């Protein structure tokens, strides 16, 4: 069974990949609009693809920060 790191925090995914001796390339995606604030300290794996040479191509995205409405409730 192949290692699946999609949906995991990048720190954990990186540890799992290194422990399994899997080479990887990383790229970070950003939203086209900056409407929602991002937590750039916490990235998550949103895509994983295995290349022909066995290297994993990993795509990361920052976590969206929670918004609080004017009435004090979370959206």
Residue 3 lies in a domain: no
Residue 21 lies in a domain: yes
Per-residue pLDDT at 26 exceeds 70: yes
pLDDT band at residue 69 using 50, 70 and 90 as cut-offs: low
- The domain tally of the chain equals 1
Tokens at 50, concatenated: 């295995």
Residue 1 lies in a domain: no
In whole angstroms, how far apart are CA 59 and each of 7, 12, 44, 71?
11, 14, 8, 36
**pLDDT value for 70:** 63
Residue 70 lies in a domain: no
Residue located via tokens 């990887």: 24
**pLDDT value for 71:** 59
Residue 71 lies in a domain: no
Mean pLDDT of 42-53: 95
In whole angstroms, how far apart are CA 36 and each of 7, 10, 31, 67, 69?
20, 20, 9, 8, 13
**pLDDT value for 64:** 79
- Identify the domain containing residue 17 by its residue range: 10-64
Per-residue pLDDT at 73 exceeds 60: no
**pLDDT value for 7:** 95
């Amino acid at each position: 069974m192949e290692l699946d790191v999609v949906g995991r925090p990048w720190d954990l995914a990186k540890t799992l990949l290194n422990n399994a001796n899997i080479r990887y390339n990383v790229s970070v995606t950003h939203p086209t609009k900056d409407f929602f604030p991002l937590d750039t300290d916490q990235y998550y794996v949103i895509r994983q693809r295995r290349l022909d040479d066995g290297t994993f191509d990993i795509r990361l995205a920052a976590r969206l920060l929670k918004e609080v409405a004017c009435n004090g409730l979370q959206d």
